[in-house]
Structure 1
Amino acid sequence: MELSEQSVLLKIYIGEDDRADGHPLYEAIVLKAREHGLAGATVLRGPMGFGRSSRLHTAKILRLSEDLPVIIEIVDVATKIESFIEKVTQMTQSCLITVENVRVIRYGHRRPA
């Protein structure tokens, strides 16, 4: 699969405890992205953060929080990302979704000379 140099980065900010049909929401979103044929997805777990409620979520020993911040990053062309955003909004109740233009330098393995 080729990926256009001018692509889009979709970021979805959720909580680690968020669920979809009994499974972690981040897992459901990544599997849906794969099913949708998107170029790639990565889940990043944050040690600390807060959102709209200003409630602090942290991994510090004295403030145990099991609902740590999670960011799902997905890269593909704008048309595919825009189409996928509709699916994400149907799967989520509370989240932050951002989109930014990115320049893809390399996608996949190095080609032999």
Structure 2
Amino acid sequence: MTRPTGRALRLTVFIGESDTWHHKPLYSEIVHRAHTAGLAGASVFRGIEGFGASSLIHTSRLLSLSEDLPIAVVIVDAEPRVRAFLPQLDELVTEGLVTLDDCEVIRYSGRDGTPGTTDTKGKKPL
């Protein structure tokens, strides 16, 4: 096991698959803005079943409700960088849930496995 690389903040945005921003998927806009903001990374996860504030269950098992499955966008970076990104989410997310969790980064490295390297755009890891 590698030694910890430090404390971080995990930002999770729970939205619906059909949520859009200017006719594009909302999750895609969040990922692109996170990238532009220089955050360490973002991942989108598609749920197979869930419900939110509407209490309507969306599931991939029923064709009639499968068009708005749950989506989670997860971003992990240093706390100041994540908090600086929050105003953009205020603009984008009109329905959904946004959570922040403290976490500990154990390993963060590029494709070559070398910690502390920068990517092609010169972004540094946590």
Query: Given residue 82 of structure 2, which amino acid in structure 1 is its aligned partner?
Result: I
What TM-score do you get using the length of structure 1 for normalisation? 0.90
Partner of 1:44: 45
Partner of 2:102: 101
Partner of 1:111: 114
> Which string of whole-angstrom CA distances, capped at 9 and with x for unpartnered residues, describes residues 44-88 of structure 1?
000000001101111004554200000000000111111111101
Unaligned runs of 5+ in 1: none
Unaligned runs of 5+ in 2: 116-126
What TM-score do you get using the length of structure 2 for normalisation? 0.81
1:1-113 equivalence runs, <5 A: 5-61=6-62, 63-109=64-110, 110-111=113-114
> Which string of whole-angstrom CA distances, capped at 9 and with x for unpartnered residues, describes residues 10-61 of structure 1?
0000000000011000000000000000000000000000001101111004
Query: Given residue 93 of structure 1, which amino acid in structure 2 is its aligned partner?
Result: T
Identity of aligned residues (%): 40
How many residues matched? 109
SS state of the match for residue 107, structure 1? coil
Distance in structure 2 (CA, Å) of the matches to 1:103 and 1:70: 23
CA RMSD of aligned residues (A): 1.5
Query: Given residue 97 of structure 1, which amino acid in structure 2 is its aligned partner?
Result: V
Query: Given residue 94 of structure 2, which amino acid in structure 1 is its aligned partner?
Result: Q
1:104–1:67 distance in 2 versus 1, CA, 3 Å: same
Query: Given residue 114 of structure 2, which amino acid in structure 1 is its aligned partner?
Result: R
